[in-house]
Structures are given as C-alpha cells and as structure tokens.
Copies of this chain bind each other. A is one copy, B any other.
Amino acid sequence: MNYKIDNLQYCNWSREVFEINREAALDAVHVTIVYHEDYDELLKRIDEWNIHFEENSDLIFHGKNYKDIEKAKEEKKTAIFFGFQNCSPIEDDISLIEKVHELGCKFMQLTYNNQSLLATGCYEKIDSGVTNFGKEVIKEMNRVGLVIDMSHSAEKSTFDAIEISKKPIAITHANPSFWHKAIRNKSTDLLKTLAQSGGMIGLSLYPHHLKDGTNCNLENFCEMTAKTAELIGVNNIGIGSDLCLKQPDTVVEWMRNGTWTKKKNFGEGSKNKPGFPKQPDWFKDARGFKNLEVGLRKIGFNQGEVEGILGNNWYNFYKNI
C-alpha cells in the first residue's frame, strides 16, 4: 500500500482545514495539540479535539497506532495523531507520561526552544544534554510507547536522546543545516546518527527553515531532499510541513513567548517580521504534496522513493515503534 502522511501541522483547525488535508489525500497528520500547556490544560485541548472528531467524523478520527493509518486509507479519512511541542504537559511528574499516552498522545518534544526539565532547546547558549529527569523520562516514554521528538532541541541533547532511547526517535519538522543555517535546522552528523538508529527526519516547509524563505523554489527544495537522501539514505526521510494554516500572528507570539519573558522574543522571526511568514506558492497548504511528488520525480527519485518520502517512510516508522 501507499500512504501519504504529513508528520507535523499546527493549523487553526476547522472543517475547511480538514477538507484541504483530504483533498491532499493525507492518510495521517501528526498535529501539535499543545505548546506550553500543563496537564490540566492538555485535557481541555483534548476536549476540543473530541468536538472536532464528532463534528467531522466523515473526514477525521483520532489515530492511535499504524493500523489507524491503514484504516484511514480504507475509509478515505485522515487519522489525527496527537503530539506536544514541549514537555510541559508532564510537568515534573514521571507518572504523567503513562497518563498522556493513555489519552492517545503519540509524540512529545523533550524541549521547545528553551531549556526544559528534560533537555536543552536550540535557542539556549549552552547545551548540557539530557538531564537526570530527562533520562528517566526517556526510559518511561520507551516503555509506554510515546515517541521522542527533538525538532526544537539543541544538538548535544539530541545526540544524547538518540543514544539513551532504546527506540528510534523522530525529528518531526526541521531541515538540514547544510542547506539553510537556521538555528533549528540539523547538522549532517546528527542526521546521519539519527538515520543509523532508525530515526526519522520530517522535512519542513515552514519558510524560516527554507533557503530563501518564502521565495524558496520547489526545485531547490527537492535538490536538498536528494542531497539529504545521499547522505543518510532515503528511507529515513519524510515530510513534517509545520503548516500553521489560518493562525493569527498572536499565536506565533505565544508560541515563542509563552509565559517565560516580559519582553518580546521573536524566535525565528525578527522585530520587523514578527508574524507568521508566507508559505511558498508551491506549498500553500497540504495540497502542495502534489507539487512535491512532481518535483521529487523530476530531481531523480524513483516512484517508490517518492512514495516513501511522502508517507510510506513515516508509516513504517509508526509500524516499527
């Protein structure tokens, strides 16, 4: 079979967005359900998702494991997998890991941009790696089956997580830094180690992660994909678009600032460009998967490889963990 998966979106969810994802024939989407929320706030976000599931049951349902990707394909729906961009929902309590997993959450970043109780984020000056609590958390995540996501983590912390984790980990949304030196993008060494351990990188379509930002062209993105495949193999590459459709700029401000600072932090943006950046023309939303398919074929990938990148590799990852 042949699956299409976008392994990171954080849209302003509505029937319209779910319809776009169906038009794009997405069988599964890993959605961010919390950034800085604590456990009680997570419960509220899940309540909101339960309403989405009820009101849009012809388009989406809550995915728990790889069989739900198969089911989605069969039923022409999109399986929604829950993930966190920060570890705030488990607070300082290791017992909450099992609870969030029981609630049907599948991915958890060990850090957002700043230091967390578990590891160091990519925007800190010094990276001390996975902490004492972080080591215990990784063990517990492995045990219950919650996937470690290091998209926003610093380099040593990510190497540590790969080494400590007994299961493959994911970088659900980032690009290689050899192509574009965003702080969030990942070194070749790191991507090689990730792939050798069975981990996945989801290539991002978020303009701050793209060479030339909004003006990045499709060919250039596909060249980068080909170079990455040469370096780490094609089977560990997927898509994690980081699409933030229809979100107001107040949301990106909250993503960056949470409640940790009184002055404004601009994260990947800047004082002059504080808002969400405009998507490239060829990937305005998930329907851009069709353009990726054309572009990846044109750059020299065979049909099987393209299908791998656009979904089957993520499907295999879900199946193996």
Interface residues of A (CB under 8 A from B): 36, 38, 88, 91-95, 114-117, 120, 123-129, 131-134, 136, 140, 258-263
Residue in B closest to A261 when the chains form the complex, CB atoms = B136
Q: A117-B115, A127-B128, A131-B115 are in contact. Are A262 and B92 (CB under 8 A)?
A: no
Instruction: Report Cα–Cα, A123/B263, bound state, in Å.
Output: 32
Q: A260-B92, A261-B94 are in contact. Are A132 and B123 (CB under 8 A)?
A: yes
* Chain A contact surface mostly: loop
Residues of B within 8 A of A126 (CB): 128-129
Residue in B closest to A114 when the chains form the complex, CB atoms = B132
Residue in B closest to A38 when the chains form the complex, CB atoms = B91
CB atoms of B115 and A124 under 8 A apart = no
Q: A92-B88, A92-B260, A262-B136 are in contact. Are A128 and B120 (CB under 8 A)?
A: yes
Residues of B within 8 A of A133 (CB): 114-115, 260-261
CB atoms of B115 and A128 under 8 A apart = yes
CB atoms of B94 and A262 under 8 A apart = yes
Q: A128-B115, A129-B126 are in contact. Are A95 and B136 (CB under 8 A)?
A: no
The 5 listed contacts between A and B (C-beta, < 8 Å) are A38-B91, A115-B132, A115-B134, A116-B117, A127-B128
Within the complex, what minimum Cβ distance (angstroms) separates A74 from chain B?
39
User: Top 4 nearest A-B pairs by Cβ distance?
Assistant: A128-B128, A126-B128, A115-B131, A93-B259
Task: Find A131's partner among B38, B95, B124, B136 (CB 8 Å cutoff).
Answer: B124
Residues of B within 8 A of A263 (CB): 136
Residues of B within 8 A of A261 (CB): 94, 132-133, 136
